[in-house]
Amino acid sequence: MSEFLVVTGMSGAGRSTAGATLEDLGWFVIDNLPSSLIVKVAELVGGSGAEAERVALVIGRGGGEPFEDVPPILATLKELRNRVRVLFLDASDEVLIRRFEGNRRRHPLESESGRVEESVADERRLLDPLRSEADVVLDTSELNTNQLRSRIIEIFAENGNSHMRTSIVSFGYKYGVPLDADLMFDCRFLPNPYWVERLRDLTGLDEPVQRYVLELPETQRFMDLLESMLEMLVPAFVREGKSYLTIAIGCTGGRHRSVAIATALSKRLQSDQIAAVTFHRDVER
C-alpha cells in the first residue's frame, strides 16, 4: 500500500522547495496537481502493480483552486488508502508580503486593487479549513531555503519507523514564535549566558555553555519535570493517531539556553525510547 503526502499551503511559503526536497528523498512527486484529480491520480500511481510506494501530491501552486473541495477529497482518499498525510506550509502575513514584493511576483490570487496584503488575506481565509486538516503545519517565516530543506528531510526521510515523528525546535522569542509548534516552553527564566563575557560568542552547542545552563539546579528541575510530562504526553498523542509532534523551546535570542536545553532534551527522550530530531532555528543569527 502506498503512502500519500498532500503538500499545500500559502503561496510563497515554500511548496516548490518542499516538492524538490521530497523528490530528492525518493518520493514520487506530482507537482501543481488540480485537486479534482487527486483521487484519480492516487488510484493510478498507488494501484496494484504500481512501483511508487511514497507519493507526494503538490496542490494549489497555480492559484484559483476550489479549496473548499479539498477536505472531502482527502476524506475519500483516506478511505481508499491506509496512510494519507497533509503537509501545510505557512508563514506570517508580513513575511509572505515581503517575499512577493521582494521578488516582484504576482500573487496567484491577485486582488482587483493589486495589493499583495489583500491577496494574502484572501488566500489565508480560503485555506483555513485545509490548514485545520493538516497533519503537519510547517512555519517557514524564519527559514531560508537550506533550513526548509533540512526540516523536510528531518520529518519525511525514510527511517523505517512508523511511530510518531517528534521534532524539538529551539528558537528566539525576539524573532517570533514558531507557528507550527504543538507544545511550547519558555526557558527565559534561567540566567542568560549572553551576559557572561566568556560565553557570549559561543552557542548552546558548545560545551561551556551547556555546562553553564544544564548544571543550574533550576534547569535540572525544569528538565526533570519536562521529561516526565513528555513521557506521559507522547504515548497519548500516539494513541490518538498523531503522526508528527513539534516541541518548541524558546529563549531570548535562540542561541544559548534554548539550544542547550533542546539538545539535552533530545538525548533524554532518546534514552526513553522516544525518537526525536533537533532543529536550532536561530542559532546562527
Q: What is the CATH number of the domain that holds 121?
A: 3.40.50.300
Interatomic CA distance for residues 168 and 177, integer angstroms: 14
Instruction: Tell me the β-bridge partners of 75.
Output: none
| pLDDT reading at 79 higher than 80 | no
Cα 159–chain centre separation: 17
| pLDDT reading at 241 higher than 70 | yes
Three-state DSSP class for residue 145: helix
Q: In the predicted model, what is the mean pLDDT of residues 219-238?
A: 92
Q: Residues 189-199, buried b or exposed e (16+ Cβ, 10 A)?
A: ebebbbeeeeb
Q: In the predicted model, what is the mean pLDDT of residues 231-238?
A: 87
Residues spanned by the domain of 145: 3-156
pLDDT of residue 50: 58
Of the residues 108, 132, 156, the one at which a domain ends: 156
Is the same domain home to 190 and 125?
no
CB neighbours of residue 231 within 10 Å = 14
| pLDDT reading at 196 higher than 50 | yes
Burial class (CB in 10 A: 0-12, 13-18, 19+), 228: exposed
Interatomic CA distance for residues 135 and 176, integer angstroms: 22
Instruction: Tell me the β-bridge partners of 8.
Output: 88
Query: Quick check: 122 and 109 in contact, CB under 8 A?
Result: yes
Instruction: Tell me the β-bridge partners of 9.
Output: 89
Is the same domain home to 34 and 145?
yes
pLDDT of residue 162: 47
- Render pLDDT for 141-155 as a digit per residue (tens, 0 to 9): 999 999 999 889 888
Q: In the predicted model, what is the mean pLDDT of residues 52-73?
A: 74
More confident residue, 24 or 260: 260
**Percentage of the chain exceeding pLDDT 70:** 89
Q: In the predicted model, what is the mean pLDDT of residues 159-163?
A: 51
How far, CA to CA in Å, does 26 sit from each of 53, 153, 181, 243? Answer: 9, 11, 27, 20
Mean pLDDT of the chain: 87
| pLDDT reading at 161 higher than 50 | no
Interatomic CA distance for residues 191 and 98, integer angstroms: 35
Q: How confident is the model at residue 27 (pLDDT cuts 50, 70, 90)?
A: very high
For helices 217-239 and 207-214, what crossing angle results, to 10°? Answer: 90
Instruction: Tell me the β-bridge partners of 183.
Output: 247
Q: Quote the number of domains for the chain.
A: 2
Is the same domain home to 191 and 264?
yes
In a domain, 285, yes or no: no
In a domain, 207, yes or no: yes
Q: In the predicted model, what is the mean pLDDT of residues 246-263?
A: 97
Least trusted range by pLDDT, from 5-9, 167-171, 226-230, 271-275: 271-275
Is the same domain home to 140 and 179?
no
Is the same domain home to 144 and 97?
yes
Q: In the predicted model, what is the mean pLDDT of residues 157-185?
A: 84
Interatomic CA distance for residues 129 and 8, integer angstroms: 12
Is the same domain home to 8 and 145?
yes
Is the same domain home to 194 and 252?
yes
In a domain, 242, yes or no: yes
User: Any alpha helices (H) in 81-214, and if so which ranges?
Assistant: 93-103, 116-133, 145-156, 207-214
Q: How confident is the model at residue 36 (pLDDT cuts 50, 70, 90)?
A: confident
Instruction: Tell me the β-bridge partners of 277.
Output: 167
Is the same domain home to 217 and 121?
no
